Structure 1
Amino acid sequence: MSWRMAAAGVLSAGIVGALVVGLWLRGTEFASWLAGIAGSGVIITGLFGWALRGSAPAPEPTRDEVRESAQILAEAVDSQWTGEAANRHLFGATPLRVGWTAHAGSFLPARGTSEELDQLVVPFTAGAGRRLVIIGAAGAGKTCVAILMMLELLRRNGLPVPIFLSLSGWQPRREPYRTWLVRRIAEDHPSVDPAMARALFRAGLITPVLDGLDELPASERAAAFRQLNSCLGPADSLIITCRTREYERIIAEAEPLTAAAVVEIDAVAADDVIAYLAAAIPPRARQAWDAVLGDERAAAMAGALDRPLMLWLLRKTYLETARDPRELLDAVQAGPEVVHARLLDGLVTALYEPGGRSLWPEDQARSWFGFLARHLIRLGTHDLAWWQLHRALPRHCAPLALGAVAAATVLTTFMLAGVTTPMAWVNAAVIAEMFILGLEAELGGGTRDIEPMRVDLTMMGRVRLLAGRIAGRMLVATPIGACFTILAMVLFGPQEAVGIGLTFIVLSGVAIGVVDWAQRAFDAGGSASPRSAISADRTATLLVLFVGITTCAVATLVALWFGLVVDGSESRIASFPYVLSAAAALGFVFALVGRPRGLAFGPYRAWPLYVVSRWYLTLRGRCPARLGRFLGEAHELGVLRQVGGVYQFRHADLRDHLAAPEGSR
């Protein structure tokens, strides 16, 4: 027996003992003790959940399971990033040629272009444990080159699976690289659990593609390089991107990455910019653009557009609109920074112009993007995850809102059952808050472990898992069942109390076990989108609600049997509305607020918390009521990009520009 289980047992025995003494000394008034019973059950369940969570580790996967997982992961990554590359126009009819220069002493050719990816891929895969650092200016196309290289690696059989991971949010001084890597792979690809992610890494079957070393705080970048040098083995391959200036500062403070080749993305040559524009100009704008390209200031304009990000912005703000391109010639006289700011500022105007593809007006879209950008900056991340939207709310706002929903649900159920005494109403509210407090305690006061879920009713190969889930949940339900047995013993007598307690344990174990078995973490890989994750988690929430209500119906029949059929005394008939309303209310609140793994095993459900957060922000004017649709459209338009199951602004410069106050842009 672990120390956790022993501690949980001692504390639970103390709580049950206190209940017995309290009932013996204070009497048997049902309404006065109902809240205490429910709350004590929550606390006891939390204690056993805490104990079980630190118990036996998951079994190590076999070699065949690891190979199969790598194949499934490769297919999901290929599907996701092929679609994302198409959304970024990396396969366009007029692709932009991006050149690169290798630093001296590397295993790469001295020079190459994005049209010659073999010159990067072949040397990179020629030996085990090779590493590549891709550097360049902001918006130079580092991420795009990394994505194209990923897709090329996936098309070559027998190579480790490249896994794209944003470095934003990693704290290398607090979290070791391997721990962070395993956690992120499991988060971005929930079909791969942490044990499998560790096995894939140890077997050398994955190549992490770490994007945005420069997005780490300045104080953490050198520590990240030190971590990588100390953690990577001789067979561990890696691709990492970073801005040039930040990279130079890092290697001045820390050692360069061991065994790594460094390739720097070149600025797009003025001739290539002019050629790209000439090929991309639509027929309706040919005359205006010919005049611009023939102007003596065209070379200076091309120099200001020497990065793929700027050329993409130019396409969206000028080539695909009726905007006069001569504005750029006037702006270039004030310097390249003015051109960049004009393009960044004009993106939302161009994409959300009246009569365009968008359903929302420009001013609202700009305001919402600004709020979301500032929210991400406050969090120190680039990842916009819908199940973490509650972090944009004031502290404790989401738990209080869900507590209000729970209290309203319990009160309504009591009223419908005809329980109208003031003390019953007070206790009903206390019951709801006990659930909220139990959840908060189980989370350590936070909601950071939330993840979207989906329903999987497949029986093939999962029968033993179902039996194990039911047995485990019966074990966790036993402490609460003991509390109800004590209460029933005082109210009804020992014979009925044992039946009521056992019935509660069996019903709770079966209901929670079935729902827990039927739900799986939503795999954000493949072609899945955040909107599909919202839909999947909503379906899972409704499943919990259905099972909760069904369980309450069965509990009501049991209450009828013990309260009316076994002994139809007047006192028991009078207590029946309390039993019925309490069972229904507790079941509904449990289904609404907690994950089916119970108060001991998981936090709030993602979808209800997301709905509460979205409506709060909508009422404050911070986001649209149809936020999922708005973000999905922004991804289609190119303002956002999808990385795993989250959105990011297309570029850090765009996020920072939208976050800035109106007058400072």
Structure 2
Amino acid sequence: MASEFGTLLRRLRRQAGMTQEQLSERSTVGVRTIRRLETGDPTDPRLGTVKLLAEALDISPAERRKLLSEAGEEEPEEPAPEPRPRDALTDAADELARVVGGRWQREEEQRRIHDPFPLPVRWQPVSALLTDHDDNIGRAPAGAAAVPLNLTGSLDDIDGTYRRIPSRRLVVLGRAGSGKTVLTLRFVLDYLRTRVAGEPVPVIFSLGSWDPTAGTLRDWLTAQLLRDYPGLTKSAPGHPSLAAALVEAGHILPVLDGFDELAAGLHGPALEALNATTLPLLLTSRPGEYTGAIAATDVLTGAAGIELIDLTPDDLANYLPRTTRRNAEGGTVWDPVLAELRDGRAADLAAVLTTPLMVVLARTVYSDTPGQDPAVLLDTTRFPDRESLEDHLLGSFVPTVYRQQPGAAQPRQGWEADRAQRWLGYLARHLDKLETRDLAWWQLGTALSRSSRILIVVLVASITTAVFDWLFFLPFDVINFGAGLGLRAGLIDGLLVGPVVGLGFGLVYGLMVVVGGTVFEPSRMRVRLFGRGDRGGGLARRFVVRMGAGILGGFVVGLGYGPVTMLARLLMFGFPEELGWVVEAAGINMITTGLIFGLAAGPVFGLATVLEAPLDLNAVTSPAGLVAANRTTVLRQVLLLVPLLIVAIMVMGWVVVGLLQGVLGELVWTLSGGLLTGAVGGLGAGFAYAFAFTAWGQWVILARVWLPLTGKLPWAMLAFLEDAYQRGVLRQAGAVYQFRHARLQDHLSRTHPA
């Protein structure tokens, strides 16, 4: 038992980065005693001695109990603390913790981090010039000095390292591909495993889309939570949403990944914004961008700092041979490469393979692909420098994962490697234009110019309305006027009405996109006809906005609809000699149908808002899930809007005609005419609204039809993205995809024109 105690004590001391003399000084236990305990000399460590050593080592409760147990002692358990009172926010935080843990556990498995074992990610403290004072990090009171922290460690200790920091603020620096993103993932999972009720929930936020000059950090965090976890749209007392309440109450621990990916000129303002809050956080960055921000502003208040260190040749020797099969001699294809690295004869390759990113790329290209020999990496003629080696690995990754292996099962979709690379390159360039790393399916249409999008909306709305006009008015005209004349009348009516309605929708769409800068984001709501539950925060505001948009859109469409229907009849049956009457009648029709359509659409779209309820927190766990949820919501909205619009147009027609009867002359609104107008208006407006003013509709007409039609993207777009995720080209980050690494995105974007 003594020997086991000594081994454990020695491991814990080394883990803390102390010598025996340092442990003696901090614990007041003699150096000889510590030496005897570690070497296993016969001795009987007293409980008080073991406690002093445990406190000096600053170990976790579990390690403390293990140390006492190996010494043959049991520490009496402290009485359980009184349970904290439960409230809605605490329950919501616990539920969010379960969702976050499940999501990132699946993501870790998808990234094959444990196959065959995680690559070593180790760190050391950063220069004192990049961190705050030790006393500020240690939260020491005035006049007192904080104990310096031991900040060396490896990937399996990131949670413990963070929890040893009293300020709960940690900066992680590392060059591209050094493992920062994997570290954040491991931190979240480990923190959640040791989290107790009431502690904040670690949530990863990709900083690349943050503009610190456009709003506060808390507002941005809230918006990101609402995007990735739509269930947090539910209202909370004193806050517009549950997400805002969780952020304000300190239930969220921001894990801010990619400080270096902020747009140029925003690093300084971002650091100032972070210093304006007292939020605990973990921040990752490349050293250069973070150092530059500090030089322009100040260090991150209260933050400790660590820097990821390079992989060693021993790490490669332990890892790479285990990623491929043994050959007949008992070795692997990596043996010649590793021998060159050990002998120092491949300096450029050794420098390349110091980051986990490049090692994983090399493993994918050579270990996971039968018949590929990594010895080609030693060819200095083909690869004269480090940059050429890195470009080779980055450029080989996509063709490798899309290459069909002999004898392997056929993939779900048979995309050719060159076409897949071209589509991925287009997506990478699209993200570059948006200056983001987030591949959001609802933003794919923004790759088109605004004028192109407006024209497509006009075209779709025109065709949709014309089809429904022909469906209802054509049979009616044939019955009333005979086959020949009725067919011509119906066709002319549809050809005129369709473009007028399309232009009306295009006008409203253009005002929203060009003037208002609107980006149609996924709905965080579902349509619920029954049940009283939570309708989400900001219901009154959403109702007013939707009703106003409905009135405006309906009025604009009605202004054109009335005169055009009259024009269609005049084209068929001829114009009267007195054209003044035509102009007067057209004006009356404009006012009448404008009021009918506007007053009918406004209340209907407002009512649709009242019938919405937030999605469940567990309902959406991936981008594909968000697409499916939005498709269901939009289709239910159409099923709800169409009959309501039909009835509203019929009823509002009687009301408006009755009020204006005599004021504008003799007006007519028949039952059959009202029914036909309501049917065409309701169906046309319902479907045009779905395609023009919802994220799912824009996804369908732009990303699923127009871009594939022009060869920019595949027809099965969602399947392609999901397949790229399964192959490891993309990763999931909440509701969006991202490329596996920023360097892969940059490489694909740069090489896309070729």
Q: Same fold (TM over 0.5)?
A: yes
Where does residue 280 of structure 1 map in the other structure? 323
- 1:434, CA displacement in angstroms? 1.7
Classify the secondary structure of the residue corresponding to 2:94: helix
5 Å matches for 1:286-297? 287-289=331-333, 291-293=335-337, 295-297=339-341
Q: In 2, are the aligned partners of 1:167 and 1:210 still within 8 Å (CA)?
A: yes
Alignment of 1:57-68 (within 5 A): 64-68=87-91
The 1-side partners of 2:422 and 2:617 are apart by: 28
SS in 2 for 1:191: helix
Cα pair 1:640 1:649 within 8 Å, conserved: yes
Give the stretch that moved more between structures: 619-628 or 287-296.
Answer: 287-296
Aligned to 2:452: 397
Alpha-carbon distance in structure 1 between the residues aligned to 2:453 and 2:391: 37
1:11 match: none
Deviation at 1:583, TM superposition (A): 1.8
Deviations 1:582-604 (A, max 9, x none): 322322233223369xxxxxx71
**Mapped contact 1:538–1:607 kept (Cα < 8 A):** yes
Contact kept in structure 1, 2:466 and 2:498, CA below 8 Å = yes
For residues 279 and 246 of structure 1, the distance between their equivalents in structure 2, rounded to whole angstroms, comes to: 36
- Aligned with 1:413 (options 468, 476, 479): 468
Sort the Cα spacing of 1:290 and 1:552 in 2 relative to 1 into closer, same or farther, 3 A. closer
Structure having the higher Rg: 2
Tell me which residue corresponds to 1:144: 182
Please name the residue that 2:163 is paired with.
Answer: 122
RMSD of aligned residue pairs (Cα, Å): 3.9
Which structure 2 residues correspond to residues 596-607 of structure 1 after superposition, within 5 A?
Answer: 604-607=693-696
SS of equivalent to 1:381: coil
Q: Distance in 1 between matches of 2:681 and 2:597?
A: 16
**Partners in 2 of 1:249 and 1:481 — Cα distance?**
53
Structure 1 residue 449, shift from structure 2 partner? 4.0
Partner of 1:232: 277
5 Å-filtered alignment, 1:417-436, equals 417=473, 418=477, 420=490, 425-436=495-506
Distance 1:87 1:654 in 2: 18
Structure 2: how far apart are the matches of 1:648 and 1:225? 24
Distance 1:629 1:381, change over 3 A: same
Q: In the alignment, does 2:229 pair up with 1:189?
A: yes
Q: Deviation per CA, 1:66-95, whole angstroms, max 9, x where unpaired? A: 222222222221111111122222333322
Which residue is 2:10 aligned to? none
| Residue aligning to 1:4 | none
- Are 2:100 and 2:203, in contact at CA under 8 Å, matched by a contact in 1? yes
Farther-moved stretch of structure 1 (387-396 vs 192-201): 192-201
Matched letter for residue 251 of structure 1: I
2:634 counterpart residue number = 541
1:545-603 superposed Cα distances (whole Å, 9 cap, x missing partner): 2223333554688699999xxxxxxx99996665334322322233223369xxxxxx7
What one-letter code is carried by the residue in structure 1 that aligns with 2:255? V
What is the Cα deviation at residue 612 of structure 1? 1.2
Give 3-state SS (helix, strand or coil) of 1:579's partner. helix
Aligned to 2:710: 620
Answer yes or no: is 1:609 the counterpart of 2:678.
no
Distance 2:272 2:545 in 1: 44
| Structure 1: distance between partners of 2:641 and 2:436 | 37
Question: Aligned with 1:309: secondary structure?
Answer: helix
Q: Does 1:166 align with 2:259?
A: no
Counterparts of 1:297 and 1:471 in 2: how far apart (Å)?
A: 67
Task: Give distance in 2, aligned partners of 1:96 and 1:388.
Answer: 35
Which ranges in structure 2 are unaligned for 5 or more consecutive residues?
1-84, 129-133, 139-148, 234-239, 478-488, 563-583, 586-590, 657-665
SS of 2:369's partner is coil
Alpha-carbon distance change, 452 to 343 in structure 1, aligned in 2, over 3 angstroms: farther
Report the CA distance shift for 1:429/1:98 in structure 2 as closer, same or farther (over 3 A): same
Quick check: 1:70–1:200 contact (8 Å CA) kept in 2? yes
2:687 is aligned to 592
Change (3 A) 1:254 1:408: same
1:99 to 117, 122, 136: 122
Deviations 1:470-515 (A, max 9, x none): 997997678999999xx9xx99xxxxx99xx999968974x54564
Cα deviation, residue 659, structure 1: 1.0
Equivalent position SS for 2:528: coil
Mapped partners of 2:606, 2:327: distance in 1? 63
Match of 1:13 in 2: none
The C-alpha deviation readout for 1:216-265, integer Å capped at 9, x for no partner, is: 12311112112211x212xx201111001222222122211000011101
**Gaps (5+ residues) in structure 1?**
1-61, 492-496, 564-570, 597-602
Residue of structure 1 equivalent to 2:154: 113
Choose between structure 1 and 2 for higher RCO, CA contacts under 8 A separated by at least 6 residues: 1
**Preserved CA contact (<8 Å) 2:204 2:256:** yes
- The equivalent residue for 2:92 is 69
Aligned partner of residue 232 in structure 1, secondary structure: coil
Contact 1:76-1:527 within 8 A present in 2 as well: no
> How far did residue 130 of structure 1 move?
2.2
Q: Is the 8 A contact 1:470 1:514 kept in 2?
A: no
Matched, 1:359 2:414: yes
Question: Residue 396 of structure 1 aligns to a residue in which SS?
Answer: helix
- Residues 83, 527 of structure 1: 8 Å contact kept: no
Distance change in 2, residues 1:302/1:456 (3 Å) = farther
Q: Distance in 1 between matches of 2:325 and 2:618?
A: 36
Per the alignment, residue 220 of structure 2 pairs with: 180
Do the aligned partners of residues 560 and 345 (structure 1) sit closer, same or farther apart at CA in structure 2, a change above 3 Å counting? closer
Please give the secondary structure, in 1, of the residue aligned with 2:340.
Answer: coil
Equivalent pair of 2:445/2:702 in contact (CA under 8 Å): yes
Superposed displacement of residue 453, structure 1? 4.8
1:657 matches 2:720: no
Identity, % of aligned pairs? Answer: 31
- Whether the 8 Å contact between 1:82 and 1:151 is mirrored in structure 2 is yes
Q: CA deviation at 1:147?
A: 1.3
Other structure's SS at 1:75 match: helix
Q: How many residues align?
A: 575
Task: Read off the aligned partner of 1:336 and give its amino acid letter.
Answer: R
**TM-superposed deviation, 1:424:** 7.4
Change in Cα spacing, 1:369 to 1:445, as seen in structure 2 (3 Å) is: same
Farther-moved stretch of structure 1 (524-533 vs 350-359): 524-533
4+ long deviations beyond 6 Å: 463-475, 477-484, 501-508, 523-527, 559-563, 571-574
Q: Which TM-score applies when normalising by structure 1? A: 0.77
Using the size of structure 2 for normalisation, the TM-score is: 0.68
Does the residue aligned with 1:168 lie in a helix, a strand or coil? helix
Q: 1:413 to 1:326 in 2, by over 3 A?
A: same
How far residue 302 of structure 1 moved from its aligned partner, in angstroms, is: 4.1
| Secondary structure, counterpart of 1:164 in structure 2 | strand
Matches within 5 A, 1:333-344: 334-344=384-394
C-alpha change, 1:337 and 1:527, in structure 2 (3 Å) is farther
Counterpart CA distance in 2 for 1:474 and 1:136 is 47
The answer to whether the Cα contact below 8 Å between 2:324 and 2:332 also exists between their aligned partners in 1 is no
Distance 2:309 2:266 in 1: 27
Change (3 A) 1:263 1:623: same
Q: Give, as a single letter, the amino acid of the residue that structure 1 aligns with 2:339.
A: D
